[in-house]
Amino acid sequence: MDPTAAKMIGAGIACIGMGGAGVGVGTIFGHYLAAALRNPSAAQGQFANLIFGFAVTEALGIFSLLIALLLLFAL
């Protein structure tokens, strides 16, 4: 196979991993919203935890994006 084509296909496959991060981020915000509607007074205190969980989950999607970017532009 042509190496350039293989890189492009590899970058596309690497991006599938971002779907998992999408599921994770959606779960985090969905559960936060559900919990916030049950107990709105406690919601504000958990905002920092929400953002931290979001950031840590998003990092995994970003790693797969990083692999895709490395394949396309750096390697």
Partner 1 sequence: MDDPIHQFNIVKYFTLGHIGGHEIAFTNSALFMLIAVAGISLLLIGATRQRSLVPGRLQSIAEMSYEFVADTVRSTAGTEGMRFFPFVFSIFMFVLFINLIGLIPYSFTVTTHIVITASLALMVFLTVIVYGLWRNGLSFFKLFVPSGIPIYILPLVTAIEVMSFLSRPISHSVRLFANMLAGHITLKVFAGFIGLLGAWGILGYAGAVLPLALTVALTALELLVAVLQAYVFAILTCIYLNDAIHPGH
Contacts with partner 1, residue ranges (CB under 8 A):
48, 51-52, 54-55, 58-59, 62-63, 65-66, 69
DSSP state of 15: T
Is 1 or 75 the residue whose CB approaches partner 1 more closely?
Answer: 75
Q: Which of 30, 16, 6, 9 is nearest to 63 (CA)?
A: 16
Question: Closest approach of Cβ 56 to partner 1, in Å?
Answer: 8
Which own/partner pairs from 1-4 qualify as long-range (CB within 8 Å, at least 24 positions apart)?
Answer: none
Measured from the CB of residue 1, what is the shortest distance to partner 1 in angstroms? 27
